[in-house]
Amino acid sequence: MGKGGENYGKRDGSGSRPSDKEIYPAWAKDVDQCLKKYDVHKDFGLSSDKVEKQRRIYGLNELEKHDGPSIWSLILEQFNDTLVRILLAAAVISFVLAWYDGDEGGEMEITAFVEPLVIFLILIVNAAVGVWQENNAEKALEALKEIQSEHAAVIREGKKISSLPAKDLVPGDIVELRVGDKIPADMRVLSLISSTVRVEQGSLTGESEAVNKTNKAVPEDTDIQGKRCMVFAGTTVVNGNCICLVTQTGMNTEIGKVHSQIHSASQNDDDTPLKKKLNEFGEVLTAIIGVICALVWLINVRYFLTWDYVNGWPSNFKFSFEKCTYYFEIAVALAVAAIPEGLPAVITTCLALGTRKMAQKNALVRKLPSVETLGCTTVICSDKTGTLTTNQMAVAKLVAMGPRADITRTFKVEGTTYNPVDGRIHDWPTGGMDANLQTIAKIAAVCNDAGVAESGHHHVATGMPTEAALKVMVEKMGLPKQCADTSLGSTDVLRCCQQWNNIARRIATLEFDRDRKSMGVIVRSDSGNSLLVKGAVENLLERSSYVQLLDGSVVKMDQSSKDLILRSLHEMSTAALRCLGFAYKKEIAEFDTYDGDEDHPAHKLLLNPSNYSSIESDLIFVGLVGLRDPPREEVHSAIEDCRAAGIRVMVITGDNKNTAEAICREIGVFGPQEDISLKSLTGKEFMGLCDQKRHLRQSGGLLFSRAEPRHKQEIVRLLKEDGEVVAMTGDGVNDAPALKLADIGIAMGIAGTEVAKEASDMVLADDNFSTIVSAVGEGRSIYDNMKAFIRYMISSNIGEVASIFLTAALGIPEGLIPVQLLWVNLVTDGPPATALGFNPPDKDIMKKPPRRSDDSLISAWILFRYLVIGIYVGLATVGVFVIWYTHGSFMGIDLSKDGHTLLTYSQLSNWGHCSSWEGFTVSPFTAGAQVFSFDNPCDYFQAGKVKAMTLSLSVLVAIEMFNSLNALSEDGSLLTMPPWVNPWLLLAMSVSFGLHFLIMYVPFLAQVFAIVPLSLNEWLLVLAVAFPVILIDEILKFVGRCTSGSRQSNAIKSLKLKSD
Q: Could you give phi then psi for residue 379, rounded to 5 degrees?
A: -135, 130
Say what the alpha-carbon torsion angle 611, 612, 613, 619 is, to the nearest 10 degrees.
Answer: 130
Query: Of 20, 173, 383, 731, which one is the catalytic site residue?
Result: 383
Cα–Cα distance, 289 to 282 (Å, whole number): 10
Cα–Cα distance between 623 and 401 in angstroms, integer? 6
Phi/psi for 760 (5° steps) reads -95, 170
Mode of pairing for the β-strands spanning 619-628 and 544-548: parallel
Strands of 111-241, DSSP E: 151-156, 159-165, 174-177, 186-192, 198-200, 211-212, 230-231, 236-239
Contact criterion met (CB below 8 Å) for 948 and 877: no
Sign of the torsion angle spanned by Cα atoms 515, 519, 520, 521: positive
The total of other beta-carbon atoms located within 10 Å of residue 158's CB is 10
Residue 425 contacts by C-beta under 8 Å, 6 or more apart in sequence? 398, 411, 412, 413, 414, 473, 476, 477
CA angle 293, 299, 303 (to 5 degrees): 110
The answer to whether residues 5 and 25 touch, using CB atoms and an 8 Å cutoff, is no
Query: Which amino acid type is present at position 625?
Result: V
Kindly provide the residue ranges of all beta strands, DSSP E only, lying in 819-976, ordered along the sequence: 889-890, 893-894, 925-927, 930-932
Q: Where are the alpha helices (DSSP H) in 939-1027?
A: 946-966, 983-1001, 1003-1008, 1016-1026
**Nearest to 725, CA basis, from 635, 785, 647:** 647
What residues does 522 pair with on adjacent strands?
A: 508, 531
Element containing residue 627 per DSSP (H, E)? strand 619-628
DSSP codes of every residue in 355-395: HHHHHHTTEEESSTHHHHHHHT--EEEE-IIIIIB-SS-EE
Strand partners, 381: 650, 728
666, 689 in Cβ contact below 8 A?
no
Instruction: Round to whole Å and give the CA distance between 469 and 396.
Output: 10
Reported as half-sphere exposure (CB side, CA atoms, 13 A), residue 222 has a value of 16
- Rg over alpha carbons for the chain, rounded to the nearest Å, is 39
Query: Which residues on adjacent β-strands are paired with residue 705?
Result: 682
Three-class secondary structure of residue 981 per DSSP: helix
DSSP assignments along 196-229, one per residue: --EEE-HHHH--SS-EE--SS---TT--GGG-TT
Q: Which of these, 905, 881, 869, lies nearest to 820 by C-alpha position? A: 881
Measured distance CA(369)–CA(478) in Å, rounded: 51
Task: For residues 1051 and 1057, give the distance between their C-alpha atoms in angstroms, rounded to a whole number.
Answer: 10
Judged by DSSP in three states, 620 sits in strand
Do residues 334 and 804 touch, judged by C-beta distance below 8 A?
Answer: yes
- Collect all residues with Cβ–Cβ distance below 8 Å to 489 and sequence separation of at least 6: 495
DSSP label of 67: P
- State the Cα angle at 916 between 910 and 921, rounded to 5°: 85
Asked about 383 being catalytic, the answer comes back as: yes
The residues annotated as belonging to the active site are 383
